Amino acid sequence: MKIKQEKIFLPAQAAFKAIRYSVPFFNMPYHFHSEYELVYINAGSGTRYIGDTVQKFAAGDMVFMGPDLAHLWINPQKYHEQDSSLKVEATVIQFSRELLESLVDLPEFTRVKHFLEASQQGFIIKGETREHTLSLIEVLLKAQGVQRIVLLLQVLEVLSLSNHIQQLNFSASATPQTHQDQRVDRVHQFVQSCYDQALSCRDAARLINMEQAAFCRFFKGQTQKTFTQYLNETRIDKACQLLLRGGQSVTQVAYSAGFGNLANFYRQFKRIMGTTPRRFLRD
């Protein structure tokens, strides 16, 4: 897909954009822009592309994206039919780097600064953090004056302190990292480059010079998922990209994505995506 650059126009007399809109279907092309963006799906479903990830979305989905990260939301064909009564509704917040330029280097903003830097890879926001963030956004949409800025900062603080956000992409970045971050990133890079090969927890443990049992505890503590869960999610993500690209059968996609067992591929696809590969394409 071709990527287009979008120019964000702010509302008159506003430092950033915060809107909720309802349309029959999403019609923006695959695009990027220089602003940070938070998107909450109030209604609707389909497939979203953020960077290198391809995932299903539905009402309740919330993501945060840093500047220049390409993204796209696509609704299935049933939304495009002439007699369709379906609608999509989304809440969107967009703000520029410059808005917080004089604040992010203050000591009080250290966590927020690190969060914004890491958002270059995109985040999906879940659980209590999503609900807390949404409650602040509901107030923000109706707020005026300085209160809008205060609420935006509160949203960013909630996100920066949360353990209920999940990174979407794992490409290399220049963001400063702790030793633990570096070890996790090495594992991420290893899986992203070798997902189609036979990988085990022991292989990942050896990569960062840890005993297998200690590595399993370490990885779960850092990512809130087991290595096997992460590996399966990566492979299913790659499988979705291959399915949408076309040219391969479902069986070929399964093996190309690193699944040596077709039954396991179907089982993991249904668990992670909530549907079958063929319905994923049809919807």
DSSP 159-204: HHT-SSEEE-----------HHHHHHHHHHHHHHHHTTS---HHHH
Task: Say what the pLDDT of residue 171 is.
Answer: 53
Q: Which strands make up the sheet holding 71-74, listed edge to edge?
A: 4-5, 31-32, 71-74, 46-50, 53-57
- Which portions of the chain are predicted below pLDDT 50? 172-177
Domains and CATH numbers, the chain: 4-167 (2.60.120.10), 177-283 (1.10.10.60)
Q: Counting Cβ atoms within 10 Å, is residue 274 exposed (0-12), middle (13-18) or buried (19+)?
A: exposed
Task: Say what the pLDDT of residue 177 is.
Answer: 47
Task: Say what the pLDDT of residue 172 is.
Answer: 42
pLDDT in tens, 212-253: 999 999 988 877 789 998 899 889 988 988 887 888 999 999
Stated pTM of the model:
0.67
DSSP percent split of the chain into helix, strand, coil, nearest 5? 45, 20, 35
Of 61, 56, 69, 55, residue with least CA distance to 39: 61
Q: Spell out where 44-184 has E strands.
A: 46-50, 53-57, 62-65, 71-74, 88-95, 123-125, 165-167
